[in-house]
Amino acid sequence: MRNLMMMVLGIIGWGNVVAQQTPLYSQYMFNKFLVNPAIAGSEGYTAINVTAREQWLGISDAPRTHSISYQTRISPKSLLNFLDFSRSSRPTSGTMGNVGLGAFLYNDHRGLIDQTGLQLTYAYHLEMDELQLSFGLTTSITQFKINKNKINLGENAQDQLIDNNQLNSISPDFNFGVYVTSTDYYAGFSVTDIMQSSVKFENDGMNNYRHLRHYNLMGGYRFQLNKEYAIEPGVQVKTTEQLNAQLDLSTRMYYRDLYWGGISYRTGGAVIAMFGMRYDRFYFGYAYDYSFNSLQNSSMGSHELMVTLKLGKVSRKLKWLERF
């Protein structure tokens, strides 16, 4: 009776099975808030990002991810305006403020599984001469839902566990991150699913199946070649407590901070080509993943689109603001 549920939970990625448990992003370096809560408000702008990823296009029920994120920096002036509805004149600070806020909503579909998550983030930023040190804490709630209509047990087969349950699980958790950035480089570390919340489908009580705690380490350095061109190599390392590590190596070239292109290599056999452009306050990006495995024979690769809108004007230009 439990065999099918064991298989389904294996797809999710618990137990000793290695699987994609968290959403995958090829253009994470253009919205690092997706992987590190300390990024919220670090630029000083209000940023709204929409990302759509279709993985292994051409394969039925292949992974696909859609997400929207929001982040902002709270200045003393904006906070006073919020508290004082009359907006009467009073002295306010001209500095940026230290608090960043963010929200992240996503849906990740994988075969029988639909994973929907909501994350709310509080970040605190410290200015230290030529760099900025940031800390972030996220509270998250995740729903896993198994689509009964896609389960095929065979002719006249029954499974009491499936028939008697709604096959959805909701679990809360926390994420934490630290991030440092300067004019030339950035580095960050984050950990997700700190509590490793259990997954429980109705009355079944499957407390032995838990979220895997994930660790993320990333960094990059920007070389300004001249007034028009810059190049930025970067690295990202993701792993779990089971030491299922994945490494991303990337290099991006920028032209006048209006256009960019780059290439990445992901261990496991994937090469990613990406390019994008900025128009006024809008940023557009596209990435194509080509996998060197048997899946590529049946698919047309993976495609990822990103659109970002940045609003507001910081009262004091920060040296470490991203310049693409």
DSSP run (H or E) holding 77: helix 76-83
Q: What is the mean pLDDT of residues 22-41?
A: 92
DSSP 198: B
Structure confidence by residue, pLDDT tens digits, 93-135: 345 689 999 999 999 988 778 889 999 999 999 998 889 999 9
Residue type (1 letter), 142: T
Structure confidence by residue, pLDDT tens digits, 242-292: 878 899 999 999 999 899 999 999 998 899 999 999 999 999 999 999 988
Q: How far apart are CA 76 and CA 78, in angstroms?
A: 6
DSSP run (H or E) holding 180: strand 168-182
Portion of the chain with pLDDT greater than 90, in percent: 51
The chain-wide mean pLDDT, for the chain, equals 81
| Range of lowest pLDDT (28-32, 101-105, 222-226, 314-318) | 314-318
Q: Which residue has the higher pLDDT, 230 or 320?
A: 230
pTM: 0.82
